[in-house]
Structures are given as structure tokens and as C-alpha cells.
Amino acid sequence: MFINFSNHPSEKWSKLQYRNAEILGGEIIDVPFPNVPPNADPNEIMRLAYLAIAQFKRIAGAYPENTFVMIQGEPTLCFAIISRLQIAHSKIRAVAATTERVVIENADGSKTASFNFVQFRKYV
């Protein structure tokens, strides 16, 4: 199982990124990253983190050791989720998508940037 916990639907991923997710976890399930209010206090961040982890566990079911979750979104919520998964020695493995930034300078002086998927990297 590969859980995409971000605001980047897997249907819009490059073929390379999609295939790498399938290789890691098989079926890809999109779980939208929640809106995190900028004035949320630490208790609200922890509440959101535990809700997300519970959702991951429900999706993983009886086979958490075969589950990867790409966690990318608001940094404090990402940290809360990833650290809790690591502290609990969860079998659900958290990863991030890495990209190469390619910048093209246009004739008018503006720049166009694109991001090309490279790999999924485990949070350490």
C-alpha cells in the first residue's frame, strides 16, 4: 500500500513517480492533506496528527509492514506525524518525494521552473 498524504493527487504525478510508488507499496491511495489553520495551537496540531495516523492504520489494515506513506504538507503537522510514527516504531514507513529543480531563463528575463521527480526518500 502506498498512501499519498499530500495535496498533489497521484493522477497528476509523472509516470516515473507513479511507477516508483507502485514498486514501493503497490496500490496507491490518495488522502488529502488537511487545511492547517495558521493560528492552530500545538494541541490542534497533535489532534490532526493522531487523526491522520489513525487513518493510515485503518488503510494499512493487517499489513502495516507493506505500507508507505508520502507525507508532504504543512511542516509542523508533517513533523508531528512523522515523529509519532518513528517514536512508536510503526511499521508504516514515511517518505518524501524528492525532485530536481530545473530553471530556464526566458528571453524576456523571466524564469520558468519545473520540478522533476527523482526518488522517494525515507524520513530519518
**pLDDT reported for residue 36:** 98
**pLDDT reported for residue 90:** 82
Sequence spans of domains, the chain:
2-97
Per-residue pLDDT of the chain (124 residues; tens, 9 = 90+): 999 999 999 999 999 999 999 999 999 999 999 999 999 999 999 999 999 999 999 999 988 888 999 999 999 999 999 999 999 878 999 999 999 999 999 999 999 999 999 999 999 9
Nearest to 21 by CA among 5, 38, 35, 39: 5
**pLDDT reported for residue 89:** 78
**pLDDT reported for residue 105:** 94
Nearest to 58 by CA among 97, 92, 32: 92
**pLDDT reported for residue 31:** 98
DSSP class of residue 63 equals -
